[in-house]
């Protein structure tokens, strides 16, 4: 048994190390998408909307799909569900996804049980929302569902519950009765980073993204940790930079593709094929940045689940200020 566990660990370590190693150069392509041959290479135009815009739903999408039997709505708020929610929504506090004792996401068995009770099936499209504004519960659940097998089957409501109520849509105080779903959690180890992997990775070949506040990044704010600072080489772009906090309609939503792209380009997060490792304190803010990067079309994003709650309290994990 010990030898089997050791083999699994080596495979996982090799995965992150390979992902953070040198990438082969891609062959240039022409406008039609084929090999360039003798034709001149045309510079690709940046899209005017998010490359993965389908991951972000608006109020109209919810209205159009609210009665679809294959769509399930999850209310990720920590409070307020009983006072009103989107009709048919099931309440799942995003805090339930964390195994705080081991500083990781809950086991696949616990995750399966939690989401089967919410009526999630293997072919379900999930719409998840939180309070909106500074909320990040929806994106935490988005990450958990993608990690455990529903990649590209989850959407986040832009603007959250505030967008729904601001549009004058119907709310409900009824708790729906849902049939148990058949969803079975299957972890995708290409969507997560562990402490052991981070310690062994060639960090020069990864992009480490510290999504905390600037004071946490510099070590001025310890946030209750034994040690302060950041992982060597990490870029600091706070997760909340992705949200427009001063919208004309009073509903904070994700910034435009142009503005988000400018933020990450300025920070140096530009290679969409490179491994990006977001982290924060407990991978709540990191999961929000995971969603933002997915929205922007980044292909290899692997949050460090243990984040600073684990790293900054370990004697063998170096930090710089």
State yes or no: pLDDT of 246 exceeds 50: yes
Both tokens assigned to 210: 């510290």
308: confidence class by pLDDT, cuts 50, 70, 90: very high
- Average predicted confidence (pLDDT) for the chain: 89
**Residue range 99-151, pLDDT digits in tens:** 999 999 999 999 999 999 999 999 999 999 999 988 999 999 999 999 999 99
> Cα separations (Å) of 222 from 197, 214, 218, 227?
24, 11, 9, 7
State yes or no: pLDDT of 8 exceeds 60: no
CB contact set of 265 (below 8 Å; sequence gap of 6+): none
pLDDT of residue 43: 34
State yes or no: pLDDT of 25 exceeds 50: no
CA distance 254 to 242: 6
C-alpha angle 9-299-135 in degrees, rounded to nearest 5: 90
CA distance 228 to 319: 7
pLDDT of residue 47: 57
Length of the chain as a residue count: 321
> Of 21-35, 189-203, 276-290, which gets the smallest average pLDDT?
21-35
pLDDT of residue 16: 60
State yes or no: pLDDT of 263 exceeds 90: yes
CA distance 154 to 125: 6
State yes or no: pLDDT of 9 exceeds 60: no
Beta strand pairing status for 56-57 and 104-105? Answer: unpaired
State yes or no: pLDDT of 262 exceeds 50: yes
CA distance 294 to 50: 9
Q: Which residue has the higher pLDDT, 84 or 21?
A: 84
CA distance 152 to 261: 21
Q: Which residue has the higher pLDDT, 29 or 232?
A: 232
Using an 8 Å Cβ cutoff, are 48 and 102 in contact?
no
**Residue range 149-183, pLDDT digits in tens:** 999 999 999 999 999 999 999 999 999 999 999 99
Please report, for the chain, how many H helices and E strands are present, in that order: 10, 12
Q: Which residue has the higher pLDDT, 142 or 5?
A: 142
Q: Which residue has the higher pLDDT, 296 or 10?
A: 296
CA distance 5 to 22: 28
DSSP string, 251-296: --EEPPHHHHHHHHHHHT---TTS-EEEE-SSSSHHHHHHHHHHHT
pLDDT of residue 133: 85
Q: Which residue has the higher pLDDT, 83 or 43?
A: 83
Both tokens assigned to 42: 């045309």
State yes or no: pLDDT of 11 exceeds 60: no
Measured in degrees and rounded to the nearest 5, phi and psi for residue 180 equal -60, 135
For each of the domains in the chain, give its residue range(s) and CATH number, in order of start. Answer: 53-166 (3.40.250.10), 189-311 (3.40.250.10)
Rounded percentage of the chain residues whose pLDDT exceeds 90:
82
19: confidence class by pLDDT, cuts 50, 70, 90: low
Q: What value does the mean pLDDT take over residues 43-48?
A: 50
């Amino acid at each position: 048994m010990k030898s089997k566990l050791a083999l699994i660990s080596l495979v996982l370590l090799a995965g992150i190390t390979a992902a953070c190693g040198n990438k082969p150069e891609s062959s240039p392509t022409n406008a039609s998408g084929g090999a360039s041959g003798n034709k001149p290479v045309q510079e690709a135009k940046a899209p005017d909307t998010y490359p993965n815009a389908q991951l972000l739903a608006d109020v109209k999408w919810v209205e159009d799909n609210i009665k679809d039997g294959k769509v399930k709505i999850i209310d990720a708020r920590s409070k307020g569900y009983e006072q009103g929610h989107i009709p048919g929504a099931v309440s799942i506090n995003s805090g339930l996804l964390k195994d705080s004792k081991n500083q990781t996401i809950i086991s696949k068995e616990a995750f399966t049980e939690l989401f089967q009770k919410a009526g999630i099936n293997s072919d379900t499209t999930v719409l998840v929302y939180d309070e909106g504004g500074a909320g990040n519960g929806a994106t935490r659940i988005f990450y958990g569902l993608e990690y455990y097998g529903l990649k590209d089957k989850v959407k986040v409501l832009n603007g959250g519950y505030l967008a729904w109520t601001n549009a004058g849509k119907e709310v409900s105080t009824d708790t729906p009765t849902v049939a148990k779903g058949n969803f079975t959690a299957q972890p995708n180890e290409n969507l997560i980073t562990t402490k052991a992997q981070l310690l062994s990775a060639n960090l020069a070949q990864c992009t480490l993204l510290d999504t905390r506040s600037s004071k946490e990044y510099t070590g001025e704010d310890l946030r209750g940790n034994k040690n302060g600072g950041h992982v060597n080489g990490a870029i600091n772009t706070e997760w909340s930079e992705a949200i427009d906090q001063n919208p004309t309609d009073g509903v904070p939503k994700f910034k435009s593709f142009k503005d988000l792209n400018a933020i990450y380009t300025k920070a140096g997060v530009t290679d969409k094929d490179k491994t990006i490792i977001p982290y924060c304190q407990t991978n709540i803010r990191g999961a929000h940045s995971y969603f933002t990067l997915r929205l922007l079309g980044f292909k290899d994003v692997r949050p460090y689940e243990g984040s600073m709650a684990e790293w900054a309290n370990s004697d063998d994990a170096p930090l710089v200020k």
